[in-house]
Amino acid sequence: MTELDCSLYLVTGRALLPPDKDYFESLEQSLQGGVTVVQIREKDVDTAEFYDIALRSKQLCDKYKVPLIVNDRVDIALAVQASGVHVGQTDMPVPIAQIEQAIQDGADYVGIGAVWATTTKNLSKPIVGVRGVGEMLQKLDGTSIKSVAIGGIKSSNLLRTLHGSVSSTNHALDGIAVVSEIMASPHPREAAAGLYELISAFRHSNSISNALSVRSRYSAEFVIDGVVDLMNIVRERSPLIHQITNNVVIAQSANATIALGASPIMATTAQEMEDLSKISGSLLINIGTLVTSAYEGMMLAGTFANAHRTPIVFDPVGVGASEFRRSSVKNLLNTWQASVIKGNAAELAALVGSNEVESKGVDSLGSGFKDPVSFVRDLARKERCVVVLTGKTDYVSDGASVAVLSNGHGLLGNITGSGCMAGSCIASFCAAAVAQEGADPKEPKLVPGDVFLAAIGGILALTISAEMAAMRDDVKGPGTFLPALIDELSLLSAQCIRDRSRLQIVSR
């Protein structure tokens, strides 16, 4: 088969066409919008009709120099001189659901999915999910076989699909396949153009992200300077921090946000999420109180935040405590892309299915990971975000560098919600990282380096303030420590950060 540009792969479905919309008109408009490959899928027509549809489709595709693929029918493909044949999930002889077999059989590309639930095809296998695609992509390392994500992909989940569907070896998708998003649209040219623009924007953004993550640009001095800059931006601009958090700690988290100079809004109702996404500088999602109404709000809030490229800080509180929490977290992380995942050793171990650290409710038991540096680096690569491992020593990684932070005080472990407040502090710094980006809307608002510094800044702000609070004469124990901690967050100075930060950067 000839070389394919799989970026925007259209699978046709005439049954989805809007009333009075001609199929060939829709196809030509989609080609004008930027479709790079067309697959003709006709399951319920006789050979003569299929041939006529394929021939006229081939003529249109030739006009725009776009390859035509025929679904299942080798005879039709040969008759119209199509570029290739697609063999689907129940067809033979190329079972593309098995990547290893596809490699052995000499496939030119594989379709991986279904990534999302879809109504356009009866699925014989369970949904893979965005985070499951990366493991399958890694099997293609060292081959020339291209990969296309399929199943339920549309404009609202496209960026999540592209960003999350990357292996730990940085093997990314070559394209995405769509059906209803284009075929069911009364304006297929605009629908295709919108999808193509999102794909192009992601690739541009990802090239910048890769350039930043592969070079060891971080030093302790560079990080501290960046943290101070972000703290100043928080206080100058007072960004709005949307927080869906544990009911037990709403007041503490809101007060910590205010003390840093940001503005909190603690809202969980699903109906508010779209409006709040338009004005928030960052979003914190903390599953401490995982009631149905809050969960629905979390799903929508994260989706809208991704659409606006607003950073999301995710705190999977007590994720290992129940199967309900584990399945809920899986659904959340497959639905939207987190910018930062923050948790203690037990929570992050449960997130990856490791038995290395035991949990008791929301707390960790034992000494923690044997190699925390490698753990956070590997998890950051897997989840395609910054990961924060909290504890006596804190670890922050963007998948390349790891910051080892040794600030803090034992009293933090004796008050309710210190971890939740850490999430609020990180979210405040993340909003500042967005605020310092350029005004060009085509440029990425956020790159991993900014989030890495923001996560470090949030942790340092809380842990250094804790040290300062613990030294005060009016602090006698946990009851007096909490209000003193809020005081010290509000008094935290750039010089204090520079003088007291205990920070080591470990680069790969």
Q: List the catalytic residues.
A: 420
Whose CA is closest to 163, among 362, 302, 23, 338?
338
Contact 116, 157 (CB under 8 A): yes
Q: Is 9 helix (H, G, I), strand (E, B) or coil?
A: strand
Burial of 207 (0-12, 13-18, 19+ CB in 10 A): exposed
Ramachandran sector of residue 353 (left: φ over 0; alpha: ψ -120 to 50; beta: rest): left
- Tokens 């609202």 correspond to what residue? 156
Q: Kindly write down the DSSP assignment for every residue of 282-298, as one continuous string.
A: EEEEETTS--HHHHHHH
Contact 482, 445 (CB under 8 A): no
Side-chain-side CA neighbours of residue 341 (13 Å): 30
Q: Quick one: CA dihedral 457, 459, 463, 465, positive or negative? A: positive
C-alpha radius of gyration, the chain, whole number: 25
* Count of CB atoms situated within 10 Å of the CB of 217: 13
Total residues belonging to the chain? 508
- Tokens 């005439």 correspond to what residue? 14
**Paired residues of 343 in beta bridges:** 389
Buried b vs exposed e over 170-187: b needs ≥16 C-beta within 10 Å? Answer: bbbbbbbbbbbbbbbbee
Contact 435, 235 (CB under 8 A): no
**Rounded distance, CA 363 to CA 356, Å?**
14
Q: Order across the sheet with 240-244: list the strands.
A: 263-265, 240-244, 282-286, 312-315, 340-344, 386-390, 394-397, 401-405, 503-507
Contact 396, 387 (CB under 8 A): yes
CA 454 to chain centre: 17
**Rounded distance, CA 429 to CA 326, Å?**
28
**Rounded distance, CA 508 to CA 336, Å?**
28
Most distant pair of Cα atoms in the chain: their distance: 90
